[in-house]
Chains A and B, each alone.
Chain A
Amino acid sequence: MTLIASDLWFRYPVQQDWALRGVDLSITPGEVTWFTGALGSGTSTMLLALAGLAPRLTGGERRGAVTLDGRDISDGSVLGRGIGYLGASPMLQLSGITNSVRDEVAVGPMNLGWPAARIAEAVVDAMARLDISHLAARAPGKLSGGETQRLLLAALLASAPSTWLLDEPFAALDRGSAARVGAMLRQLADAGHRVVVACDDADQMLGLADRILVFNSGSPVLDDLPDRILAGDQILVARAGTSDAATLAFMAGFAAPRPVRREDLLRQVELDPAATPHETESSSSGAPALDFANVGFSYRSEEPVLSDLTFSIAKGEAVGLFGANGAGKSTALRLAMALEYPVRGVVTTLGRPTAGRFPEHFAPQVGYLFQQPERQLFASSVTQECLLAPTVAGWNGDRAATAVAGVLEELGLADTAKEHPYDLPLPRRRLVALAAILAADPELLLLDEPTAGLDAVSRDLVIGAVRRRVEGGRAVLAITHDPLFAHEALDRGLLLDQCRLVLDGPVRDVIDDRRLRQPAALVIAIALGLPPGADRRNEVARLIERS
């Protein structure tokens, strides 16, 4: 009863390089196995190969074998072999044949030909476990990113697969939903299922995974217990991300084995309160880059999405928009970009009301990163994609080329400049979309989940890019479920609940136990009484090092 890859090699069509190189591994029931690695290390491809989708659907060339219970994995349908697969872009996995969430959850059991009573029971149970019962009558295509992710996980659960292959299942989930999904995966493994998760969020997987495989250049280079690997140096050599606490300990000069949990790090550090840094100067100025005044919005005759929303963002300020999945965060960003118009109140972007104006009136001074930017690229190369905004801004050729080269370097994309965006893996496409809006140096950045699906290195690049712009007087409004991005890149947080703004304050007030997981640096900073702005990783690591 084992899923086995034997001397597995795989490469995508037209590619010279192998994406997987001689992988030997076995996935046993009763375990949560965690794949991690830097971008392009092969974790997502490995999941596709284990599901039998590569090369059957992707095309390309495979050598070696993948067998499930002794049978080659390429035979038959994925679900028919008892495999539940969730890709990195759940929106693309909706069946397209149902009108409601309830029926979408039932698609798998329906195709498996279960008796109607069993289907009904499985659907109700799956929706309850993923906390989407209240969405049962909603149209699947109209859900938010996080709600769609929960819907597809419920759809898998209802189909009762014995093997779960999940690519970034926590990426768009709020903290409560992520905890719920984590608990569900643990229960499945304990019940004897095979659970494999490709994930770059070490803190999410810590305590959940029984085993970690760190991939580098297409094959696993480390295979051990998560705590042991995360505490060591080898994971850093493989350019994969370790836990937040271990990263902070590394930055502070701790030798391996390092503490991997925040509490362990907190116990080990002895800080000199006298060395506490003062609050950092804010570069924000009075002029608002974005202003929402009593804004209300609803889609046609549906329930209100936003109600009486009032806030303002100054230049030089980075603000996070938080809330549960489906709270209306993406809608607020669309309102700011004039992709939607308020039903009540006024949205003023860069000093101009959006009413009567179109997005093209605000671009490229306003840069908008969509929640799923991977499908919204339209140029023939990465460079051309990035040149568009500077060209629209009227920059001359040299200035535009210099800016594009700079932003590609900044986001680690210099080696992809001539490639077609659609030839890149999804996380890199996300970086290209970000580079394309940064190239024209926008005054206001509207970012919807800018770090979703990125590895630790890329996430740090995005954090750095955002901070540099904020310090240069640019304004940022970002939606994120990534606690590290929120803490490192943002200054202020807005919390939406039940369509309304319920909290507007320093971002760390929003990143509390209930909303987002607290990064290690913040835990230590709060324990020491450090003020906001002095609680970021570099500052705290320096403080620990000095002590």
Chain B
Amino acid sequence: MTLARRAHPFTTGAVALTAVTLALLLADTQDVIVLYLVTVLVAVATGAGAGVRRGLYVVVPIWALLFILQVLLGLDPRTAAPWGGTMSVPGVQFALSQGSRLAVIATASLAFATTFDPQRFLQASIARGWPFGAAFLLVATLDAADRLASQARQLREAQRTRGVMVSGSLATRARALPALIFPLLLTSLTEADDRALALDTRGLLLTGRRTAIDPPADSPTGRALRWLMLVLVIAAAVWRVRR
């Protein structure tokens, strides 16, 4: 099991949240770039490299858009570009700054999501005496995409077994999309009813004290790291306000 998965869920959450907050607070472009590199390094080193990869899926199209709109078509003054022609000087600054900022947010969030274990998080919340409803809401929200994907997969299978072409060329897939979306919405509504029944019958709507089953261990190092993250965020906020 990787370090990111072994760690207490509050610690991984604190680290991810700190990265996101710093990305929003830091003003200098080079600081944000360094933050992105550190985020990537930490994610890869702790076994959350999948989050980096998924983050790139999200930000590469945005980087491309920033490059076109800001670097190629941006405001004057312009300077010579390495590939020939010219590029916008403030555009380069803006693209690097915002591109890195978005990359930090995407990478930190997705690295956290890929290593997030709903059961460990809920058990940690129960052990800490946190409101179960809020913790469950977070878990359900993070789990919603998986549930929807699973439902879509079932519907797609059902359609394929009835001869509906849903794979093949891009055009074929595009044509099949509306036939998938509307039933998916309908089944999602039905799913919501079913979830409500499951929650009620399994006691998840009960109020009052719950018992944590095998809650994740919270080491002194983990606790210290969370405090450190808090200090970092406060320091960055103070520095930003004073600047």
User: Contact between A422 and B190 (Cβ–Cβ < 8 Å)?
Assistant: yes
B204's partner among A111, A359, A422 (CB-CB below 8 A) is: A111
Contact A112 B206, beta carbon cutoff 8 Å: yes
Contact with B along A63-88 (1 / 0, CB 8 A): 00000000000000111100011110
With CB as the reference atom, state the residue of chain B lying closest to A156. Answer: B201
Closest to A393 in B: B163
User: Quick check: is B196 within 8 A (CB to CB) of the other chain?
Assistant: yes
Q: What is the bound-complex CA distance between A75 and B198, given in angstroms?
A: 17
Report yes or no: A87 in contact with B197, Cβ–Cβ below 8 A.
yes
Stretch from B79-87, B89-97, B208-216, B217-225 that touches the partner: B208-216
Stretch at the interface among A212-220, A239-247, A369-377: A369-377
User: A96 to B196, alpha carbons, bound, how many Å?
Assistant: 12
Q: Complex Cα distance A93/B197, Å?
A: 7
Query: Which 3 residue pairs spanning A and B have beta carbons closest together?
Result: A111-B203, A392-B163, A376-B158
CA distance A427 to B225 in the complex (A): 55
B139, B162, B163, B194: which contacts A92 (Cβ < 8 A)? B194
Say yes or no: is A388 at the interface (Cβ < 8 Å to chain B). Answer: yes
The reply to whether B197 and A363 form a contact with Cβ atoms under 8 Å apart is no
Is B161 in the interface zone, CB < 8 Å from A? yes
Report chain A residues within 8 Å CB of B139: 97
Contact in complex: A57, B196 (CB < 8 Å): yes
Binding site for A on B (CB under 8 A): 117-119, 122, 126, 136, 139-140, 143, 147, 151, 154-155, 157-167, 179-180, 182-183, 186-187, 190, 193-206, 208-214
Interchain Cβ contacts under 8 Å between A and B, 19 examples: A53-B200, A89-B194, A93-B202, A110-B203, A111-B204, A113-B210, A339-B160, A359-B160, A360-B163, A360-B164, A360-B165, A363-B162, A364-B163, A373-B158, A375-B187, A376-B154, A377-B183, A378-B180, A422-B187
- Chain A 106-126, CB-CB to B under 8 Å as 1, else 0, gives 111111111110010000000
- Among B117, B119, B143, B182, chain A packs the most CB atoms within 10 A around the CB of B119
* A231 / chain B contacts, CB cutoff of 8 Å: none
Query: Whole-angstrom distance from the CB of A64 to the nearest CB of chain B?
Result: 21
A57/B193 contact (C-beta < 8 A), A360-B163, A389-B162 known: yes
Known: A96-B143, A110-B213. A370 touches B200 (CB 8 A): no
Instruction: Answer whether residue A358 sits at the interface, using C-beta atoms and an 8 A cutoff.
Output: yes
> Complex formed: what's the CA distance from A159 to B202 in Å?
9
- CB <8 Å contact, A358 and B167: yes
A95 within 8 A of B: yes
Question: Does A114 lie within 8 Å of B211, measured CB to CB?
Answer: yes
Min Cβ gap B19→A in Å is 26
Residue of B nearest to A100 (CB): B119
A94–B147 Cα gap in the complex (Å)? Answer: 12
> A437: CB under 8 A from chain B?
yes
Q: Are B211 and A119 in contact (CB under 8 A)?
A: yes
Instruction: Tell me how far the C-beta of B187 lies from the nearest C-beta in chain A, rounded to whole angstroms.
Output: 6
In the bound complex, what is the Cα–Cα distance between A93 and B122 (angstroms)? 18
**Which residue of the partner chain B has the closest CB to A93?**
B198
A residues sitting closer than 8 Å to B (CB atoms) are: 51, 53, 57-58, 77-80, 84-87, 89, 92-99, 103, 106-116, 119, 155, 159, 337, 339, 358-360, 363-364, 366, 368, 370, 373, 375-379, 388-389, 392-393, 422, 436-437
**Given A103-B213, A116-B211, A360-B165, also A77-B206 (CB < 8 A):** yes
A263–B198 Cα gap in the complex (Å)? 41
Known A95-B202, A103-B213, A110-B211; judge A339-B157 contact (CB<8 A): yes
Instruction: Tell me which residues across on chain A come within 8 A of B155, comparing CB atoms.
Output: 376, 378
CB distance B203 to A96 under 8 Å?
no
Given contacts A97-B118, A360-B160, A378-B155, contact A80 B213 (CB under 8 A): no
From B140, B158, B210, contact of A111 by CB (8 A): B210
CB contacts (< 8 Å) of A393 on chain B: these are: 163
Q: Is the interface of B mostly helix, strand, loop or mixed?
A: helix
Number of A-B contacts (CB under 8 A): 154
Our pick among B158, B204, B209, B210 for the contact of A378 (Cβ within 8 Å) is B158
- Apart from the given pairs A77-B200, A78-B201, 14 other A-B contacts in the complex at a CB distance below 8 Å: A85-B201, A96-B195, A97-B122, A103-B213, A110-B203, A110-B210, A110-B213, A113-B211, A155-B202, A359-B161, A363-B163, A370-B158, A376-B158, A389-B162
Q: Decide: A77 near B203, CB < 8 A? Known: A57-B197, A93-B198.
A: yes
User: Which residues from chain B contact A95 at a C-beta distance below 8 Å?
Assistant: 198-199, 202, 204
Give the nearest-CB partner of A95 in chain B.
B202
Q: What chain A residues lie within 8 Å of B167 (beta carbons)?
A: 358, 360
Q: Given that A93-B197, A93-B198 are contacting pairs, would A108 and B163 also be in contact in the complex, using a CB cutoff of 8 Å?
A: no
Residues in A whose Cβ lies below 8 Å from that of B143: 96
Contact for A79 among B154, B194, B201, B209, CB less than 8 A: B201
Contact of B159 among A57, A58, A116, A378 (CB under 8 A): A378
- Please report the C-alpha to C-alpha distance between residue A97 and residue B205 in the assembled complex, in whole angstroms: 13
- A109–B200 CB distance below 8 A: no
Shortest C-beta distance, B32 to chain A (Å), equals: 36
A104 → chain B closest CB, angstroms: 9
Q: Which residues of A contact B182 (CB under 8 A)?
A: 378
Complex CA–CA separation, A393 to B164 (angstroms) = 10
B197 lies within 8 A of A375 (CB): no
In the complex, which residue of chain A has the Cβ closest to the Cβ of B151?
A375
Say yes or no: B190 contacts A363, CB within 8 Å: no
User: Counting chain B CB atoms within 10 Å of each CB, which of A78, A95, A339 scores highest?
Assistant: A95
Q: How far is the CB of B193 from chain A (nearest CB, A)?
A: 7
Asked if A113 and B161 sit within 8 Å, CB to CB, the answer is no
* Residue in A98, A363, A379 whose CB lies within 8 Å of B119: A98
Bound CA–CA A110/B198 (angstroms): 15
- Set of chain A residues within 8 Å of B199, measured between Cβ atoms: 95
A57 — which chain B residues lie within 8 A by C-beta? Answer: 193, 196-197, 200
Minimum C-beta distance from B166 to chain A (A): 7
CB distance from B71 to the nearest CB of A (A): 43
Chain B residues lying within 8 Å of A377, measured Cβ to Cβ, are 158, 183
The reply to whether A378 and B119 form a contact with Cβ atoms under 8 Å apart is no
- State the Cβ distance, A139 to closest chain B Cβ, in Å: 11
Bound-state CA distance A392–B118 (Å) is 42
> In the complex, A116 Cα to B212 Cα: how many Å?
8
**Measured CA separation A110–B212 after assembly (Å):** 7
**Contact assessment for B198 and A106 in the assembled complex, using a CB-CB cutoff below 8 Å:** no
A77 touches B205 (CB 8 A): yes
Chain B nearest CB from A474 CB (Å) reads 17
Bound-state CA distance A461–B160 (Å) is 27
B162 near A375 with CB under 8 A, answer: no
Q: For residue B193, which residues in chain A have a CB less than 8 angstroms away from its CB?
A: 57-58
Nearest residue, chain A, Cβ from B186: A422
